[in-house]
Each structure stands twice: as C-alpha cells, then as structure tokens.
Chains A and B, each alone.
Chain A
Amino acid sequence: MTEMPVIGLEVHVQLKARAKLFCSCPTDFGAPPNSRVCPVCLGLPGALPIINNQAVLLAVRGALALGAEVSTSSTFDRKHYFYPDLPKGYQVSQNLRPLAHGGRVPTPMGQVDLLRIHIEEDAGKLSHTEDSTLIDYNRSGQALLEIVTAPCLSGAKQARVFLEILRRALVYAGVCDGRLEEGSMRCDANLSLGGGGRVEIKNLNSFRGVEKALAYELERQSRARAEGRTVLGETRRWDEAGAATRVMRTKGQAQDYWFLPEPDLPPLVIGADLRRQARGDLPEMPWTKEKRFTDDYGLSPAASSGLTKTRTMADYFEAVVAAGCKARQAANFLLGEGSKGPRGAGLPSPGQLALLLCELEQGRLSPTGAKAVFARMLTGETAREALRAVGSQLTDREYLEKLAAEVVAANPKAKADYLGGRKRALGFFIGAAMAASGGRAHPALLRKILVSLLTKNKV
C-alpha cells in the first residue's frame, strides 16, 4: 500500500513566563514538590483566576512569530473531565474563540499549516509508585500555548523536522525555553491512513518519540490494512521502553469533555498596543535567516542551518563577518573549531575572532596555529596577545632549512623510501617538521625546502 498518511499534531508549549497563568506562583523547574502552590493553582473553592499579562504577551508573540492571525478578543472556556491531576475538575482553556487562527511553519519537506493557537493552563504532575500515586501541583496552572496543525503532515520524519523547526522558532522568539527534558514541549499526534480510523497518540515527550511512534503506527496500520483488518479509531499511548504504541481508550471509552464559558474571566482583549509590543521585539525567524544566509553569504544549506541553530550563534556569525571576515571562513571555523568550545558569553568578541580568522585567511597562520590562538583567546587573551604568544608562521628560510635537515637526518629509512620512489614519505617529513615547529612552520615553504633537500642529497 502506498496511500499517504494524514498526520496532525497538537503541541503544548510551556510559555517562558515567570509566574503561572492565573496566579503569581513561580514557575522555576525542579522545586520541591508542592512548594509552588496557592489557593488558585490548587483549585481551592472560592479562589479566582487573574490572567498573567506576561504570559499573554508571550502567547501573542508566539502566535505572531508563526504568522497566525491574533484575535482582538478571545475567550476562556472550562474544559471538564475527571482526572486526579486536574484540581478543579476542569482545565481553563480556549475552545470556542481561541487566541489565534492560522499560521505556518516552513520545513524542507513542505510547509506545515497551523489551524489554531490558544492559551491554556497545565495540569499537575502524577508520579506512580508501587502502591500509590503522588501529585505534584507545582506544574498545575503553568501557562501553555497549544499549537494545532492542520492534518497535513505526510510522514513521521516530517513531523519530527517540523517540531525541531517549531522549537527553534519559539526559542528564537523568546516564547519558550525549549528544554524538552523539562517537559517544555509536549505533543499529541493523530494519524489516519487511507480512510481508516483516526488514531490519537498521547504521551509523546520527545521529538524522537514522535517520529518513532508515528513510524510504528504507520507500520502497524498498513500491515493491518494489508491483512484486511479494519483500523479502529482509538487513543493510544507511546510506550518508550517497549518501542510500541498501546491502546489507552477505544472509541466507546472516549473521554467525554464538556465545555463552559469561563465565568470568572472577562474576554481576553488584545489591543493595538499589546500587539505592537509583542511584534516589536520579534526577531527574524530561523527559516528566513537560514535562507538569507544561503542567498547573501553563499553558504551551503547545511552550513546555514547549522549557523541558525541558535540566535546567539547566528548573530555572532554575522558580527564576525561584519568585522571583516570572509563569510565562508567564518562559517567553517564556527561550525568546526568554534562549535566545540563554549557558547555565547564565553566566546571572544566578534572583532577579535575576525582578526584571528584574517590571519588564517592570509596564510600567516596555519589551521593548527589558529586552533592554538583560539584556545588562548578563550582564556581571555586578546587576538593580538594570543597571536604574539603563539607567534605568526615561520618563514625564516635559514630556520626552516635547519629544521628540514634535522628531520631528514633523523629518519634515514623514510629518506630511503622517498628516494626509492615512494613520494608519500614527503608527507611524513612535513608532518614531523611541522610538529617540531609547534605548528608554526609555513607549510608551502617547508615543503619546497624539504623537496630540494631530499633531491639535492640524491645527486
């Protein structure tokens, strides 16, 4: 069977707000259980929600970053269902009139259209021990942005790529910290194949998990179809350890939600000021940046993608280029040597790095020498200091001739090989001499001297 699957995703993104959505409890991760709670987020009767303006600003910013249409007025609804992690018996969400409609995320495998984006509160966190279930309400009431895609993804791989790009965009926009291991982005997927039942997969906490679960489910469903079995609409969950999806609820047991407009909260009005404020400091999105890097700097798609992984990296790259370094040189260095060291604040200033890279570009410094200079710069030396300490490349003919003579004299066997016609032995001599010079010997000059020395002796 080669039918195209129909895949849609619902992504829950934790907004990077200092306080929860409806109370002032802090949102720091890893606090002792139930230490970040108050009557509001514990759902005590009589406690009332007050919307957190910072969370709203971040939500609007997220929606604008994804190209969605933000509604002037949206409303909150209570979504009722029974589960112990839900202290009020309902979750405050936006059902009928969400914060935003539409939006899109470009991926190399085609654009992913968004249906809607809305604000909602997180639930508590259950942890199951052998004989009991514990509830931590620290997460209860944290602000989430739910992003719902159209059922337009064509495969497991695209789902994962989409999520990675989405994550990058939201981190760029400063909307989410993107820390997946802390549950900052969680995902439900739904999938149907060739008119079969719609299967929802819950409990997807990693992008790799999404890919694997969807791939598993596609395989399971197409096998079922090949064997003539009907695929039932149901809810499944991803079992990471067993590497399989398992049935959670069949259609008959479907969770019955009911909604009620939230009477405790007035409509959420997004005025022109707030919209301007949210749009104001919105950075260039990673996909735009990536394309610009390819177009303007002539970088390969892989290099552009690598450099736009984080805003810090991309901004740093551009600053180095602006300071006079050739783009390709800067890209190669940053994705190579530069990517191994520290990030962000630990890096030398772009102007300093540009100085170093110019030395390299003009052959006054070997790649090995550049490595040494860079290492010194990371300890706080300026480019000039580090260059002086390491020294520029040695072009002193007399020194290089002496060096070459020593190396040749010390390796009679290699010399014999070379003279016997094994030209590769030359590389050995160059390497040995380079090492003896601490990486500072000018490679081309050294080569010339070695060749003439070896040939002269022959005569």
Chain B
Amino acid sequence: MARGLAAGEISSRELTEDFLRRSERWQRTLNAYIEITGDRALATAKRIDALRCRGEKLGPLAGIPMALKDNISTRGVATTCASRVLAGYIPPYDAAVVEKLGDCPLLGKANLDEFAMGSSNSTSAYGPACNPWDPARSPGGSSGGSAALVAAGCAPFSLGTDTGGSVRQPAAFCGVTGFKPSYGRVSRWGLLPLAPSLDQVGVLTPSVEDCALVLQEIAGHDSRDATSAGMSVPDYRAALGTEVSGLKIGLCPEVLADCSRGVGSALAEAARELEKGGGQIISVSLPFLEEAMGAYLLIASAEAASSLARYDGVAYGYRPLSPTLAEMYLGSRVFGPEVLRRLLLGVCSQGKGGGNYELGQRVRRAIVSRLDALFGQVDLLLLPVVSHPAFRLDEEPDPLAMHYNDLYSIPANLAGLPALALPCGFSEGLPLSLQLMAPRFREDLLLAAGSWWQRRTDWHHRRPREVCS
C-alpha cells in the first residue's frame, strides 16, 4: 500500500475514500467506531497528495489512513474513552503518537471498553463493538474497536492501548497482528490513563511487516513523558527477514494443558514449526501467573481510581443541575457498572495508608526478577494470548472470569516487556492466536520471529466475509 502510494499508482484520497466507504458499510454491523471522522481524513489525504505531487519527501506511512482507539487525545476531535463522563470533551492537544502519525488520515475513533476497563468491549457507553468473524461475538477488549476495524479491512492499521492485554486479546479474537511494545518505548503523552505504570500504546495491523513500519514511526524518546525510555530506536525493518534458527523459545507445558483444545493444539503445532525452523524449544514453568494477576488487580485498580479522580463532573462532560457542590459531584458521576466496580475496588484496596498497592508492587517486583531470570535462559516465551477463542456477547460474563482473559498477558505489563499476538489457527470459524514475549526493548526479536512465522503460515491472510445487516 505504501509502495503504491509512493509510486503514484493510487492517491491517498482514493485510498482514504475506499476505507471510509468500507468503514461506513461495516459500522452498522460492528459499531467499531465511536466517531467516523471522514472530513478530517480527506483533508489530510488531500494535503498529502498535494505534497507528493510537489515531490516533497514524505514518511513511509504518509497518506495511509488509520483508526485510533478513542482514549488517545486528538486535537479538535472528541475523545470519549467510551464514557458518558467525557461526553463533549474535545482535547486541545494531540497525543505524541498522533503528532508522529500526523500525515496519516484519521478515519475515526475506535470503540473500546469504558475507560479501557474490560476485555469484551461490552462496557462502552456507545454500545458494544462486535467481532467481524461473528457479530454475535465480542471483538475482545479493551481495544475491541481497533482490532475489529483492522480485521474487517476498514483500516490498514490502528492504534490501541494495552494495560493488561488490551491490544493482544482483541488482536487474538479478531485474528490480526497485535503488538504491545516495551514500557517506555512509545510515549504515553496524550494517552488517557487507566493505570499509568502499566499502560502502553500498541499497534494492530494485518501483518508483522506492517506492524514494524508503524512501530518505527511511533517509537522513541519523548521529553514530555518522564517514563519514556531514553535509548535510541533500532531499525525494525532490518529484523524482518531474519530466521529463528538458534533462538531459544520457552514454553510452559502446564499452560498448554490449561488451554481449550483448539488453542492448545495450535500452540503445540506452532512450537513444532519453530523447532523445524531451527528454534530450540525449552520447557519452562510459570508458577506465578495467578500471583501476577492478583498483583495486577491491586495495582491497576488503585491507579485507575486515581486516574479517574479528575472526572469529578465539574470540568468534564455531563452535569446535572444541582443546588449544592456535594450533589453536583454525586449526580454527575455517570460511570458504568464495570468502572464503578473497579473504582470501588481501587479506593477500597487503598484503605488507610495504601497497603494493598504496596503489596501489589512487592509481588510485582518479585515477578519481574523471576522473569529476568527466565530471560537469562530463553530469548522468547511462547504463550497463548487467551486460552479460548472469542466468546459470545450475550453470555453474561463473570467479572473474575473476564480477568482470566488477561492471565497470559499481564506478566508483560507488570514487567514492561514487549509482546506480540499472532494468528495461528482457527477453531469453528474463529481465529486463534499465539503470543510471543521478549526481554525489555527486544522488539526486534519479536518482529524477527513474527515475520518468520508469517512467511511460513497464511493465517494472517484470512479475512472475515462481509456481513451485511
């Protein structure tokens, strides 16, 4: 696509119009956008076409349209976090990633779980987004809209955010490539926070190759984010053609046993492929997954309660007429039930003195050192993303079971590791995914293994049939 643009075979405007048409068609089925920003997209596309005509030097992604999860600040475009609380909030500034992708026409803001709290995209105040493989099913969450749009071919790529698996799990449910970079690799400036010590912007694309292109554009130090990593960004495209031979890949047999049969066998098959390619599969044990989830819940809920403290209803969104300050505060808190549940968990877990958060952080430090030790033995970890394919939206989810969706994703967030979700099979017409995890700032290893995998397989080429409703 980028080559087509560069060669002048197709204009950004034509490309953008195509994607907008497709987006409009799918929107009734998927509800994957909160807002489609066609005028803005076309304005950018025309600007880029004009620049290209004049022979200006443009970035590799210039003119390629994109969708952004609606918790990423876009100047002049409403940013809702899928919550009534933020209704009408139009940020006066762009997120760092939006600045970096300023030459990409913005097709629209993608649906998500309210304040990115959830794994189903069913808690959105704008209604659930649906899975293009089966609209009765969840696209995953919280970046459900972003994943569904790429899967349905409505957007060439999208950005999501990943706090405990929120890019990888929807990527798995929708059968697309989902990448969560190391903590600090991509600036969080302008990302509406859920849990700032865990949040990271992630990329959703049809392929690892595309993923490398987008990652290259958005990675790098940002002086506005004190948690941003100072180190330089390698050329990710250089990793794309490499082999997996000689790579040591850790696999945990107990984890495979816990997966649904489809996922378990797809992963076992993937391991055999990697071995055929010269990789060395090493059996490891991950006895800390449950602990990691406990620590995650304590940390994420406390940080979320803090992040959302600003939405007191005075400065943002919906405000009922109330005679007193106290009533105004109470009346304008229009969070949905999942957000309220987590806020309560967050505030209550603080008690006096914040002991539970500290406990969570202690466990987290222990897990980080165990993962460090593990990565002394292996180069990569092979895991499922989720133990099962996408669930039905009408299955009333048990909140705790929903958290188990993130069981295999959370360690990467706790330790700030990069991780990649890759399509690796199908079960009853629904995509399955594997996950690769690497040491911090070894995005290149993931891209190398991922692109090797996609040269060997065609799972990522499969696309859902367009369903018209």
Question: Given A46-B189, A264-B226, A82–B329 Cβ distance below 8 Å?
Answer: yes
Check A44–B91 contact: CB distance below 8 A: yes
* In the bound complex, CA of A264 to CA of B191 (Å): 12
CB distance from A96 to the nearest CB of B (A): 9
Q: Is B224 an interface residue (CB 8 A)?
A: yes
Q: Is A87 an interface residue (CB 8 A)?
A: yes
Report A-chain residues with C-beta under 8 Å of the C-beta of B95.
Answer: 46
Q: Is B264 an interface residue (CB 8 A)?
A: no
Q: Is B223 an interface residue (CB 8 A)?
A: yes
Report B-chain residues with C-beta under 8 Å of the C-beta of A261.
Answer: 354, 357, 361
**Mostly helix, strand, loop or mixed at chain A's interface?**
loop
Check A44–B92 contact: CB distance below 8 A: yes
Q: Is B109 an interface residue (CB 8 A)?
A: no
Check A45–B306 contact: CB distance below 8 A: no
Question: Given A48-B226, A50-B226, A90–B188 Cβ distance below 8 Å?
Answer: no
* In the bound complex, CA of A116 to CA of B361 (Å): 26
Residue in chain B with minimal CB distance to A39: B93
Residue in chain A with minimal CB distance to B93: A39
Residue in chain A with minimal CB distance to B313: A82
Check B226–A260 contact: CB distance below 8 A: no
* In the bound complex, CA of A258 to CA of B224 (Å): 26
* In the bound complex, CA of A50 to CA of B226 (Å): 6
Q: Is A43 an interface residue (CB 8 A)?
A: yes
Residue in chain B with minimal CB distance to A258: B350
Report A-chain residues with C-beta under 8 Å of the C-beta of B81.
Answer: 45
Check B225–A48 contact: CB distance below 8 A: yes
Question: Given A44-B91, A87-B315, A261-B357, A266–B226 Cβ distance below 8 Å?
Answer: yes
Q: Is B193 an interface residue (CB 8 A)?
A: yes
Residue in chain B with minimal CB distance to A84: B314
Question: Given A44-B93, A88-B309, A50–B350 Cβ distance below 8 Å?
Answer: no
Q: Is A51 an interface residue (CB 8 A)?
A: yes
Select B188's contact among A48, A82, A89, A258, beta carbons within 8 Å. Answer: A48
Check B310–A80 contact: CB distance below 8 A: no
CB distance from A51 to the nearest CB of B (A): 7
Select B350's contact among A44, A88, A90, A260, beta carbons within 8 Å. Answer: A260
Question: Given A45-B192, A46-B190, A82-B329, A89–B354 Cβ distance below 8 Å?
Answer: no
Q: Is A265 an interface residue (CB 8 A)?
A: yes
Residue in chain B with minimal CB distance to A38: B93
CB distance from B325 to the nearest CB of A (A): 7
Check B193–A46 contact: CB distance below 8 A: yes
Residue interface bits A157-179, CB-to-B below 8 A is 1, else 0: 00000000000000000000000
Report B-chain residues with C-beta under 8 Å of the C-beta of A260.
Answer: 302-303, 306, 350, 354, 357
CB distance from B88 to the nearest CB of A (A): 14
Check B310–A47 contact: CB distance below 8 A: no
Q: Is A297 an interface residue (CB 8 A)?
A: no
Residue interface bits B309-335, CB-to-A below 8 A is 1, else 0: 111101100000000010001000000
CB distance from A128 to the nearest CB of B (A): 12
B223-262 CB contacts (< 8 Å) to partner A: 223-227
Q: Is B216 an interface residue (CB 8 A)?
A: no
* In the bound complex, CA of A258 to CA of B314 (Å): 20
Question: Given A44-B93, A46-B73, A46-B191, A84–B325 Cβ distance below 8 Å?
Answer: yes
Can you list 28 residue pairs at the A/B interface with Cβ under 8 Å? A43-B310, A44-B91, A45-B86, A45-B307, A46-B91, A46-B188, A46-B191, A46-B192, A47-B93, A47-B189, A47-B190, A48-B188, A48-B226, A49-B226, A50-B224, A82-B309, A89-B308, A89-B311, A90-B310, A258-B350, A259-B353, A261-B361, A263-B197, A263-B303, A264-B226, A264-B227, A265-B226, A266-B227
The 7 closest A-B pairs by CB, nearest first: A89-B309, A263-B197, A263-B196, A89-B310, A45-B192, A46-B190, A88-B310
